[in-house]
């Protein structure tokens, strides 16, 4: 399934594969990931596709074995305040994908990033993944304003995870388009060949046969926005903008 997913999203234009080896969950009885044996799966997928891979690190003691496989390390929302983990990652050269905590403010996210930056690792990517509010119509509230604020306050790239915010497959595309419109530098989207068989988060995963159409719509909006920006700056004539 991992290889099938990787090949499908790669063919559609995805540039990086994110796959969770360790998955911290709110309940200890929930699926926690396959653990270290999943690293072998990631290694095989990476060797077959040539795609760089990102996986979550939850324990400093596993840093070396994860670093042997991963091209970047994700710090999940529940570990945003794990300062020992952030400090240790700051002493490496691995890119760090830092997800905003479930109830964290923008200031707290930036301070968490400082723990990595202060140790000398400047390869930090911030991720907005939705925050916990009183709203129950969806899993989390995607704070698109945070993307604009983070771009205003930091030089770091900002990506958005619409899948975790949505909690439902039908909401992933509209939230993705909102993220593109507000200036996100990238999107993290969950994809699965058979979401009904997924051990976790299947409700929010796009099907592999849906991803290409999803990608086209996201790219189309991105191209349109770039065209508008270029037209405003006087870089392209209005006729080219209309054709885009």
Q: List, for residues 132-142, the tens digit of each pLDDT value.
A: 999 999 999 99
DSSP 141-189: B--HHHHHHHHHH-SS-EEE-HHHHH-SHHHHHHHHHHHHHHT-SEE--
Give the Cα separation of 207 and 201 in Å (integer).
Answer: 12
What are the distances in angstroms from CA 23 to CA 52, 56, 66, 147, 201? 19, 7, 13, 25, 11
Give the Cα separation of 127 and 204 in Å (integer).
Answer: 18
| Residue 226 confidence (pLDDT) | 85
| Residue 37 confidence (pLDDT) | 81
| Residue 153 confidence (pLDDT) | 97
| Residue 202 confidence (pLDDT) | 86
Query: Which pair of structure tokens corresponds to residue 16?
Result: 């990086």
- pLDDT tens digits along 139-190: 999 999 999 999 999 999 999 999 999 999 999 999 999 999 999 999 999 9
| Residue 20 confidence (pLDDT) | 83
Q: Is residue 164 within 8 Å of 208, Cβ to Cβ?
A: no
With a cut of 90, say whether residue 29 has pLDDT above it: no
Residue bearing the bigger pLDDT, 40 or 159: 159
Q: Please tell me the total count of domains within the chain.
A: 1
Give the Cα separation of 195 and 206 in Å (integer).
Answer: 8
Element (DSSP H or E) covering residue 196: none
With a cut of 90, say whether residue 21 has pLDDT above it: no
Q: CATH number of the domain that 104 lies in?
A: 3.20.20.70
Instruction: Please name which of 85, 155, 141, 77 lies closest in space to residue 109, comparing C-alpha atoms.
Output: 77
Q: Is residue 33 within 8 Å of 18, Cβ to Cβ?
A: no
What is the average per-residue pLDDT within 8-30?
A: 83
Q: Print the domain residue range for 185.
A: 2-243
Query: Which residue is associated with the tokens 């952030």?
Result: 86
Give the Cα separation of 212 and 67 in Å (integer).
Answer: 30
**Backbone phi, then psi, for 191, in 5-degree steps?**
-135, 140
- State the pLDDT confidence band at 36, using cuts at 50, 70 and 90: confident
With a cut of 80, say whether residue 35 has pLDDT above it: no
Whole-number mean pLDDT of the chain? 91
How many residues are recorded in the chain?
244
0.85 exceeded by pTM: yes
């Amino acid at each position: 399934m991992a290889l099938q997913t990787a090949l499908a999203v790669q063919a559609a234009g995805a540039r990086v594969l994110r796959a969770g080896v360790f998955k911290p969950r709110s309940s200890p009885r929930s699926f926690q990931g396959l653990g270290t044996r999943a690293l072998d799966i990631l290694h095989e997928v990476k060797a077959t596709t040539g795609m760089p891979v990102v996986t979550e690190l939850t324990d400093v003691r596993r840093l070396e074995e994860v670093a042997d496989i991963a091209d970047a390390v994700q710090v999940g929302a529940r570990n945003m305040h794990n300062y020992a983990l952030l400090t240790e990652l700051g002493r490496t050269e691995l890119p760090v994908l830092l997800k905003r905590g479930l109830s964290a403010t923008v200031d707290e996210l930036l301070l968490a990033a400082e723990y990595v930056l202060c140790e000398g690792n400047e390869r930090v990517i911030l991720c907005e993944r939705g925050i916990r509010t009183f709203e129950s119509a969806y899993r989390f509230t995607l704070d698109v304003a945070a993307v604009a604020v983070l771009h205003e306050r930091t030089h770091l790239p900002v990506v958005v995870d619409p899948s975790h915010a949505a909690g439902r497959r039908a909401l992933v595309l509209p939230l993705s388009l909102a993220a593109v419109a507000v200036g996100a530098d990238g999107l993290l989207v969950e994809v699965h060949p058979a979401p009904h068989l997924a051990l976790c988060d299947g409700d929010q995963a796009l099907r592999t046969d849906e991803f290409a159409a999803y990608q086209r719509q996201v790219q189309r909006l991105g191209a349109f926005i770039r065209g508008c920006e270029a037209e405003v700056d006087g870089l392209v004539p209005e006729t080219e903008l209309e054709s885009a």
